[in-house]
Chains A and B, each alone.
Chain A
Amino acid sequence: GNSVTQMEGPVTLSEEAFLTINCTYTATGYPSLFWYVQYPGEGLQLLLKATKADDKGSNKGFEATYRKETTSFHLEKGSVQVSDSAVYFCALSDTGIFFQGAQKLVFGQGTRLTINP
Chain B
Amino acid sequence: KAGVTQTPRYLIKTRGQQVTLSCSPISGHRSVSWYQQTPGQGLQFLFEYFSETQRNKGNFPGRFSGRQFSNSRSEMNVSTLELGDSALYLCASSEGQRTDTQYFGPGTRLTVL
Contact = CB atoms under 8 A, between A and B. Distances in A.
B42 A107 contact: yes
B105 A104 contact: no
Interface stretch (B14-22, B71-79, B91-99): B91-99
A99 B56 contact: yes
A103 B106 contact: no
A5 to B, nearest CB: 12
A103 B104 CA distance: 14
Interface residues of A, number: 27
A105 B45 contact: yes
Interface string B71-113: 0000000000000000000101010111111111111000000
A5 B106 CA distance: 24
Which secondary structure dominates chain B's binding surface? strand
B28 interface: no
Contact of B101 (A49, A96, A99, A109): A49
A51 interface: yes
A103 B56 contact: yes
Given A42-B106, A43-B106, A110 B42 contact: yes
B45 A93 contact: no
B58 A93 contact: no
A105 B102 contact: yes
A78 B30 CA distance: 37
A96 B35 CA distance: 16
A99 B31 CA distance: 13
Interface string A92-104: 0101100111111
A89 interface: yes
B104 A101 contact: no
Contact of A101 (B92, B97, B102): B97
Which 10 pairs show the lowest CB-CB distances between chains A and B? A107-B43, A102-B55, A43-B104, A44-B104, A96-B56, A102-B56, A43-B106, A51-B99, A99-B55, A104-B45
Interface of A: 32, 34, 36, 42-46, 49, 51, 89, 91, 93, 95-96, 99-110
